């Protein structure tokens, strides 16, 4: 048997839909565009397996891995999943998600771990597979494709403007290879992100789909990423009693006035957000230039404080 894994071709479609139906897997939402994200395992000319992925921002939904029963347990399924992971990494996907009712142990062996449905990113929870096609009792699993070496948490009170801008800018400037990942949170989060914060990010072509306001208590829970740096952006959050962050992160304060408090014409308000974006962008560029692996926390803290004055 000589297996090769190659991209979907239009001539594969009838066979692909029939194999999915045989395995009782969803076909109703598979569009022509989605078919282009399937990989096919071939034994010479014979098609023997398939796997597909949907891309949603920096998250991917791995779906529909099926191998013809005659060649199961020969490594074809594992190779298909690996091929999808390679493809997803090239697309800048940071984490793959999946729902499975039948093959939890198969995916666990490939490095996927259980995940609560409600914790999946909004873009993944909104997929038809999540909303209606996969049985409610299915296991939700995920696998990070990019494991950051440093985590940064930006804090302010409402988590609707400054900290959201900082999170989006850092995650944009830190390429997947850059290995730094930012989050943001608030001590008293507002119900949603300020529309002008979203507008300024969109103006600068930064992704916004994964952004949401959240309480900072999410990050002192078991299983939360362990922060290396915690940066407060508003004076009020800096004065409030923070949770005790596990791992003793380096903390600093980058005080910035609140663009959301600026009043005046629509143009004046937008300008205030643009200025906040500009200052944060400059500071975060300098932050990413720092030797983040520096072992002396006081040297890191001093440099962070200097950046916060710029």
Ligand X SMILES: CC(C)(COP(=O)(O)OP(=O)(O)OC[C@H]1O[C@@H](n2cnc3c(N)ncnc32)[C@H](O)[C@@H]1OP(=O)(O)O)[C@@H](O)C(=O)NCCC(=O)NCCS
The residue within the footprint of ligand X, chosen from 74, 204, 208, 257 (CB under 6 A), is 74
Binding range to ligand X, per CB under 6 A, among 8-16, 96-104, 182-190, 214-222: 96-104
Compute the least distance from the CB of residue 102 to ligand X, in Å. Answer: 4
From 67-75, 124-132, 176-184, 245-253, give the range in contact with ligand X by CB under 6 A.
67-75
Minimum distance from residue 29 beta carbon to ligand X (Å): 14
Q: Identify which of 239, 280, 224, 240 has the alpha carbon closest to the alpha carbon of residue 256.
A: 280
Helices 266-289 and 195-203: angle between axes, nearest 10 degrees: 60
For residue 138, give both structure tokens.
């299915």
Instruction: Compute the distance between CA of residue 262 and CA of residue 273 in angstroms, rounded to an integer.
Output: 9
77 part of the interface to ligand X, by CB under 6 A: yes
Q: Per rule CB under 6 A, is residue 175 in the interface with ligand X? A: no
Binding mask 8-37 for ligand X (x = CB under 6 A): ---------------x-x------------
Question: Torsion angle of alpha carbons 84, 88, 90, 95, nearest 10°?
Answer: -140
Nearest Cα residue to 156 out of 84, 93, 216, 116: 216
CB 80 within 8 A of CB 47: no
Our CB check for ligand X shows the closer of 66 and 145 to be 66
For ligand X, which residue of 58, 100, 171, 184 counts as binding (CB under 6 A)?
Answer: 100
Orientation angle between helical segments 162-173 and 266-289, nearest 10 degrees: 50
Closer Cβ to ligand X, 63 or 162, answer by number = 63
Which has the closest alpha carbon to 287: 118, 173, 207? 173
Q: How far is the CB of 63 from ligand X (least distance, A)?
A: 7
Q: Tell the smallest beta-carbon distance from residue 180 to ligand X (Å).
A: 33
Q: Cβ-closest residue to ligand X?
A: 77
From the list 31-39, 72-80, 178-186, 233-241, the region that binds ligand X by CB under 6 A is: 72-80
Q: How far apart are CB 101 and ligand X at their closest, in Å?
A: 7
Q: Residue 218, class by beta-carbon neighbours within 10 Å (0-12 exposed, 13-18 middle, 19+ buried)?
A: middle
Looking at residues 36 to 65 of the shown chain, list those that interact with ligand X (rule: CB under 6 A). 64-65
Residues of this chain, 194-233, that bind ligand X according to CB under 6 A: none
CA proximity to 62, closest of 142, 145, 147: 142
Chain Cα centroid distance, residue 30: 23
Strand partners, 152: 182, 229
Candidate list 70, 73, 265, 298; residue touching ligand X; CB under 6 A:
73
Among 8, 15, 55, 106, binds ligand X (CB under 6 A): 106
The CA-based angle 296-289-90, given to 5 degrees, is 115
- Write out the H or E segment, with its range, that includes residue 66: strand 59-67
- CB closer to ligand X out of 102 and 175: 102
Task: Give 50's strand partners.
Answer: 40, 66
Q: How many residues sit in the footprint of ligand X (CB under 6 A)?
A: 18
Q: Which is nearer to ligand X, 97 or 273 (CB)?
A: 97
Nearest residue to 48 via CA among 77, 81, 26, 14: 77
Q: Binding ligand X by CB under 6 A: which of 42, 47, 57, 78?
A: 78
Rank residues 50 and 284 by Cβ distance to ligand X and give the closer one. Answer: 50
User: Would you tell me which residues interact with ligand X (CB under 6 A)?
Assistant: 23, 25, 64-67, 72-78, 100, 102-103, 105-106
């Amino acid at each position: 048997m000589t297996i090769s894994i190659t991209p979907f071709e239009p001539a594969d479609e009838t066979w692909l839909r029939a194999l999915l139906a045989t395995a009782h897997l969803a076909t109703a939402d598979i569009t022509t565009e989605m078919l282009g994200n399937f990989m096919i395992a071939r034994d010479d000319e014979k098609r023997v397996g398939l796997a597909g992925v949907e891309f949603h921002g920096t998250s991917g939904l791995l779906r529909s891995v099926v191998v013809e029963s005659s060649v199961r347990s020969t490594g074809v399924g594992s190779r298909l999943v690996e091929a999808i992971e390679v493809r997803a990494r090239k697309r800048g996907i940071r984490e793959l998600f999946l729902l499975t009712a039948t093959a939890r142990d198969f995916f666990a062996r490939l490095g996927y771990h259980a995940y609560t449905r409600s914790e999946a990113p909004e873009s993944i929870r909104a997929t038809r597979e999540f909303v209606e096609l996969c049985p409610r009792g299915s296991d939700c699993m995920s696998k990070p494709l990019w494991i950051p070496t440093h985590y940064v948490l930006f804090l302010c009170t409402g988590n609707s403007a400054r900290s959201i801008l900082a999170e989006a800018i850092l995650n944009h400037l830190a390429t997947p290879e850059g290995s730094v990942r930012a989050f943001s949170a608030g001590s008293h989060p507002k119900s949603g992100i300020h529309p002008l914060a979203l507008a300024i990010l969109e103006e600068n072509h930064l992704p916004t789909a994964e952004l949401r306001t959240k309480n900072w208590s999410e990050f002192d829970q078991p299983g939360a990423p362990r922060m290396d740096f915690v940066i407060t952006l508003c004076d009020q959050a800096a004065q409030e009693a923070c949770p005790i962050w596990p791992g003793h992160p380096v903390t600093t304060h980058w005080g910035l006035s609140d663009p959301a408090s600026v009043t005046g014409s629509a143009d004046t308000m937008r300008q205030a957000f643009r200025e906040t974006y500009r200052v944060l962008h400059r500071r975060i560029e300098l932050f990413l230039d720092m030797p983040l692996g520096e072992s002396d926390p006081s040297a890191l803290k001093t440099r962070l404080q200097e950046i916060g004055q710029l």
